Amino acid sequence: MGRALGSGRPWGVPTARARPALASTSSKATALSGRPGGTRAGRAPAERGAWPTPATQEDLHFPSQLKTTTTAAISRDFTEDRIWLNGREEDAGQPRLQACLREIRRLARKRRSDGHEDPLPLSLSYKVHVASVNNFPTAAGLASSAAGYACLAYALARVYGVESDLSEVARRGSGSACRSLYGGFVEWQMGERADGKDSIARQVAPESHWPELRVLILVVSTERKPTGSTAGMQTSVETSALLRFRAEALVPARMAEMTRCVRERDFQAFGQLTMKDSNQFHATCLDTFPPISYLSDTSRRVIHLVHRFNAHHRRTKAAYTFDAGANAVIFTLDDAVAEFVAAVRHSFPPELNGDKFLKGLPVEPVLLSDELKAALGADRTPGGIKYIIATRVGPGPQVLDDPGAHLLGPDGLPKAAA
């Protein structure tokens, strides 16, 4: 496993790379239908984890264009748990992180008590150093916490030799992190047990199932959102009657329909259901008291752009969804990607970063017809979209064996700061 031995050198693990929700190697994952909920029976999320409301949630994951890379190491020379996120040291004592560490150590202890041999025995009392980097905006509605905790759980499991299902570990950090432990199209099931141990994710279809499907991330803001996903959803669970009605009356049927759309590659129905579910999710946010508004004026302009684009073509060729943030995730098929990117450029002309406006997978430039330009309208917003990330559905967590990819040096400190 590439653990470094000897005094002063941490016991590490080949760096794990995750695709942020969406994702997807514990890639970034994006919710399609049935949004995550709060906790059961009023239990603290850091101790018991979070569950979807009420039954399931379907997600898909994105590959290297959207990823979290995490390195974890343990050593007898470490005096305390430490974590660095995007090069900045964060509070390692935060309850959600410590809950993940306690759970992974419990599983490692159980594995030993069950008689499993550990080829490189190490003390479970050793402290952990973790470094994690996102290549996409953090805490901006792009599932960075889900990808981060999924990647963390995966890396720690490799360090401690834990081979069991990691849903429980990841969910203690972020409710939706369990969905980022698998690639392709993923369903997060709520389960029925009070302790949440049957609230797990399962893969509906692998990343290779729908090769024509493309994803465009329209980055409206890279700033941290004022209301976090966990706090916002807890308030919604407590105060929104619409959320309760939606959970009980609508989500189960929508989940079944979304699964059918994915399995049959029915983009028309897939796109419409994705947009309707996104709209309803944000309606529950406004129904929350006090209300929560994640969408910005630019977000709403993106919504109008998609509907005008589809109306011009008289069918659904693009679909939007917004998680708890202002940034848009657009689904389309490969034969419509270039035209939609051109439509975004037309409606949101890049200001100073025209050469860096499109990132990720290459997209050939095309010219818009005069008819489509007229359909999009004359209301243009220069600089409204910071940039676009073009990607596709990707795999689950992966281990990076190249030592050069590790974020921690031999002394257990981030390489840049070592």
Tell me the pLDDT band of 298, cut-offs 50, 70 and 90: very high
pLDDT in tens, 346-377: 999 998 655 689 999 999 999 999 999 999 99
pLDDT of residue 274: 96
| Annotation: CATH topology of 11-207+398-405 | Ribosomal Protein S5; domain 2 (3.30.230)
Closest residue by Cα to residue 399 from 28, 69, 47, 98: 69
Buried residues in 317-330 as b, exposed as e (16+ CB within 10 A): bbbbbbbbbbbbbb
pLDDT of residue 376: 98
pLDDT in tens, 249-258: 998 899 999 9
Please tell me the least confidently modeled range out of 149-158, 187-196, 332-341, 382-391. Answer: 187-196
Closest residue by Cα to residue 109 from 94, 97, 121, 98: 121
pLDDT of residue 30: 58
Record the tokens describing residue 170, joined without a space: 């990841």
| Residue 274 near residue 303, CB atoms below 8 Å | no
pLDDT of residue 6: 28
Angstrom distance (rounded) from CA 355 to CA 338: 16
In the chain, where the domains are located: 11-207+398-405, 213-391
CA angle 401, 405, 407 (to 5 degrees): 120
Helices (H) and strands (E) in the chain, counts: 11, 16
* Average pLDDT of the residues in 163-178: 74
Tell me the pLDDT band of 110, cut-offs 50, 70 and 90: confident
Please tell me the least confidently modeled range out of 42-56, 159-173, 280-294, 309-323. Answer: 42-56
Record the tokens describing residue 122, joined without a space: 């190490």
| Residue 277 near residue 33, CB atoms below 8 Å | yes
Please tell me the least confidently modeled range out of 48-52, 191-195, 280-284, 288-292. Answer: 48-52
pLDDT in tens, 76-103: 889 999 999 888 898 999 888 888 888 8
Q: Where are the beta strands (DSSP E) in 198-283?
A: 201-205, 213-219
Record the tokens describing residue 27, joined without a space: 């890639």
- 3 state SS for 169-180: HHHHHCHHHHHH
Tell me the pLDDT band of 327, cut-offs 50, 70 and 90: very high
pLDDT of residue 33: 60
pLDDT of residue 344: 98
Angstrom distance (rounded) from CA 53 to CA 60: 18
Architecture of the CATH domain 213-391: 2-Layer Sandwich (3.30)
pTM to 2 decimal places: 0.79
- Residues with Cβ within 8 Å of 404's Cβ and at least 6 positions away in sequence, in order, are none
